[in-house]
Amino acid sequence: MKAYASNIRISPKKIAVVATIVRNMEVQKALDILKYMPNKWSSILYKVLFSAVSNAVNNDWQEKDNLVISSLIIAKWVVMKRWNPIGRWRSHPILKRTSNILLELKVK
């Protein structure tokens, strides 16, 4: 019972803040918390968790109330490199980081 989101255009450091709150939590409680958090990355985690729950209910015939988040892995992915021009023909680097999310569920 897994869900995977790849190449998300948010730094893994930002998603890890919300991931620490939700790890090892019951699914229904985690969905309620993520739904009302005011962050962009919490809505992304909400979609991944909702997808994992849907996979468990439809493919593995599990009940939603018996599911717990067993692992939530935030992995660093491709870094897009851009440049910001400044004076005298110089430039500063801009690193646009992306991340992957792997969420696994287990039965209580």
pLDDT tens, 15-49?
A: 999 999 999 999 999 999 999 999 888 999 999 99
Average pLDDT over residues 3-20: 95
- For residues 102-108, average pLDDT: 96
For residue 98 the two structure tokens come to 């992306």
Q: pLDDT exceeding 90 applies to what percent of the chain?
A: 95
Rounded Cα distance, 8 and 2, in Å: 17
What pLDDT is stored for residue 40 in this prediction? Answer: 87
CA distances from 76 to 5, 8, 39, 43, 73 (A): 12, 10, 19, 19, 10
Give the chain's domain count. 1
State the Cα–Cα distance between residues 71 and 105, nearest whole angstrom: 7
pLDDT the model gives residue 70: 96
Question: How open is the CA angle 53-56-62, to the nearest 5 degrees?
Answer: 110
* pLDDT of 57 above 90: yes
Tell me the Ramachandran region of residue 101: left when phi exceeds 0, alpha when psi lies from -120 to 50, beta otherwise: beta
pLDDT at 12 over 90: yes
The CATH number of whichever domain residue 82 belongs to comes to 3.90.470.10
Q: Considering the entire predicted model, what is its pTM?
A: 0.90
pLDDT, mean of residues 47-67: 95
Domain range for 71: 2-107
